[in-house]
Chains A and B, each alone.
Chain A
Amino acid sequence: MSENKCQCGTPKRDEFIQKLFDEYLPIKDNLIQMLNEVQEHYGYIPKNAQIELSEFLNIPMAEIYGVITFYSRFTLKPKGEYNVAVCLGTACYVKGSQKIMDRLKERLQIESGETTKDGLFSIEETRCVGACGLAPVFTVNGEVYGKATVKKLDEVLDEIINQKEK
């Protein structure tokens, strides 16, 4: 049995999940709350966590999968070490954030929601991050870069890549 398979017989639960289960009651309503914590902890929702949640909350996996794929905050794949998110809210759009996004995709050769092969970068489209005063903005691992330009984006990416190479 591979490690991804159901572990009903061989409980080997990691510490985080155990803590989560101690903290929450096994009622259905808690699904999204718990998924939020899993996403926060792992950076995505691993299959094992889905299986464990299904058992704990007594919710079929298809339903959990349905919830995960409904909410854009939840992801099924690990994000890159650097998650670059471009705000496509209206204020940023009007100020040209699409150009930033286009450049980002072109530079990294991946689409939004994907991770580069080396796992270094992932791209995400976000809705308004509320920094409209600085539009257009992009964020790298949550850090906001305001009044962005294609040039600024390139600089930020170059810096990360250079740092990595060192």
Chain B
Amino acid sequence: MEKEMVNLTIDNQKITVPKGTTILNAAKKAGIDIPTLCFLKDINEVGDCRMCIVEVEGRRGFATSCIQTVEEGMVVHTHTPNVLEARHVILDLIISNHAKDCLTCTRSGNCELQALATKFNVLNIEFEGERTEHTIDDLSPSIVRDFNKCILCRRCVAACKNVQKIGAIDCINRGFESCISTVGDHSLNDVNCTFCGQCIEACPTGALHEKETINDVWVKLKDPDTTVIVQTAPAVRVALGEEFGMPIGTNVVGKMVTALKRLGFDKVFDTNTGADLTIMEEANEFIERFTKNDNLPMITSCSPGWVKYIEMNYPELLPHLSSCKSPHEMFGAILKTYYANREGMDPEKIYMVSVMPCIAKKFERQRPEMKEDNLYDVDNVITTRELARMIKQANIEFEKLEDSNFDSPMGEASGAGAIFGTTGGVMEAALRTAQDTLTGKDLPKIDFEQVRGGEGIKRASINIAGKDINVVAASGLANARTILEEIKSGKVNYQFVEIMACPGGCIMGGGQPIKSSKVRAEVDVRKLRADALYTIDERSIVRKSHENPVMKKLYKDFLEKPGSEIAERLLHTTYTKREKYNI
């Protein structure tokens, strides 16, 4: 059916848009960029900040362009003197209650409030007055909340409460005293936060950011007694370039490796290799559980935000979780044992750094289970954003770097490892290995289109060796909840479930470059980054984890076979029920 069209005039331009279009989007179509602040497409469309106000002829007061829809014959003006004055006053008021310490703010240069202040040339604050003051919460290993910089746009609340259905933070108090906080103003550490970091990605200012740990890396890099090894997650390479002005979805793996070497890391490895290792173990675990019909469905465990979520919310379903550690933890454990031994290194002198698209990994790293012989598998987790900062601080002109390769012998990875970074990728990688193992053949069909794409929940039935396996890949914790409720109800018959805490998977993780509301409205960031990962997979010579020569050698030399005693000890873990609130 043809969509009903509406004719209207915006700033003297006549345009025709489908019924139901917002004034903001209609304006965009006419090449008019109405300023917004609280607006975040599909996530927070509430009209609170009032920056997007416009005048509509015949209407009393201003219209809220980000949520109000067009009407036939509507005449809109987006920059009358009245509108401009109101926007100035609103911006002035917001800034009057904002910690104006741009020079010492992590979001300086990538701050939507700062951009508006520049656009409106705010030279002084006309309506100065009392500011609400808040203590900074930096007690969690992952997130720092500094609500002195909060402008009450509530994008973070929408991400946490509506997108993820967590609700660790919400708007509390009333009027001028309103602020975004947790129950009782406790630290995020003590409430039901999963550390997924979607709030950080949503924040237009510096009120929410990762707990930065790059100083420790700098120190270790300069320490001659320490071997500093770095590994980089699959999703990092398709996003890091954005921090240097490259198009979204550019694969900068070669430049990244060069930069890491220039930074002084002794060895630069690929977490994709760790991902292959995870597949070896996870596929094996799945086959075993599948044949024995033991605790099915089996659910993936490589997303630490997701793991914390199920520990807090569905402890009764914990037996469904795969016992596999996440790829970087597995890889860390192998590097500090097998690799250290082979290279004659003292594991105590290895400093293992993971570059991750994720801030929950910062939490995961320090879980007591992630230790072997009192040594953490991984010593420091930094995000994609932090790595970009290190590169900049080391005065490296990233764009001009030559490509180089990961170090041997632990550097080779399969295409299956690469797609770990997107929703459905772990599932697809595991199926590639599982079908070969179950059939005992090297099957040519390796693309599982059913589990690709941006939908939050992707269900499929896949026939392997004559048996139908019902699989589902879900990303985002709201979708995770849906799947868990389905499992709990007993009405579904899944065998294998992949869950990622972040909507879209790791490529959209809480440690990735932050995209402004405007970019997120205009571009499908997830798709561009995911496509880049699938391209890496397609162009890989080895596309199945079990065919990775590194894996073959590792199992031959050290791990014996998947699920062996030593593999269990180093590569598998346990989970515990967690209280949602320690208040």
Contacts and interface: CB of A to CB of B under 8 A. Distances in A.
Contact of A5 (B166, B172, B173, B581): B581
A50 B172 CA distance: 15
Nearest to A4: B583
B580 A6 contact: yes
A60 interface: yes
B183 interface: yes
B19 to A, nearest CB: 32
Contacts of B579: 5-6, 8
B171 interface: yes
B516 interface: no
B583 A62 contact: no
Interface stretch (A36-44, A64-72, A97-105, A132-140): A64-72
Interface in B549-583: 579-583
Given A5-B582, A5-B583, A6-B579, A66 B170 contact: yes
Nearest to A7: B579
A157 interface: no
Nearest to B175: A70
B172 A62 contact: yes
B172 A65 contact: yes
A66 B157 CA distance: 12
Interface residues of B, number: 21
Contacts of B192: 60-61
Contacts of B181: 62, 65
B184 A66 contact: no
Interface residues of A, number: 18
B183 A65 contact: yes
A62 B173 CA distance: 11
Contacts of B445: none
A147 interface: no
A22 B161 CA distance: 28
B191 A63 contact: no
A51 interface: yes
Given A5-B582, A51-B581, A61 B183 contact: yes
Interface in B433-469: none
A55 B581 CA distance: 11
B167 A63 contact: yes
A80 B464 CA distance: 70
A59 B183 CA distance: 12
Contacts of B583: 4-5, 47, 61
A63 to B, nearest CB: 5
B174 A69 contact: yes
The residue in B166, B172, B191 that gathers the most chain A C-beta atoms within 10 A of its C-beta is B172
B174 A60 contact: no
A146 B167 CA distance: 45
A69 B181 CA distance: 11
Which 4 pairs across A and B sit closest by C-beta, in order of nearness? Answer: A60-B167, A61-B183, A62-B170, A66-B170
23 contacts: A4-B583, A5-B582, A6-B580, A47-B184, A50-B183, A60-B161, A61-B167, A61-B183, A61-B580, A62-B167, A62-B168, A62-B169, A62-B172, A62-B181, A62-B191, A63-B167, A63-B170, A65-B170, A65-B182, A66-B171, A70-B173, A70-B174, A72-B174
Given A6-B579, A65-B184, A69-B172, 18 more contacts: A5-B579, A5-B583, A6-B580, A8-B579, A47-B184, A50-B183, A61-B167, A61-B182, A61-B581, A61-B583, A62-B167, A62-B170, A63-B167, A64-B183, A65-B182, A66-B170, A66-B172, A72-B174
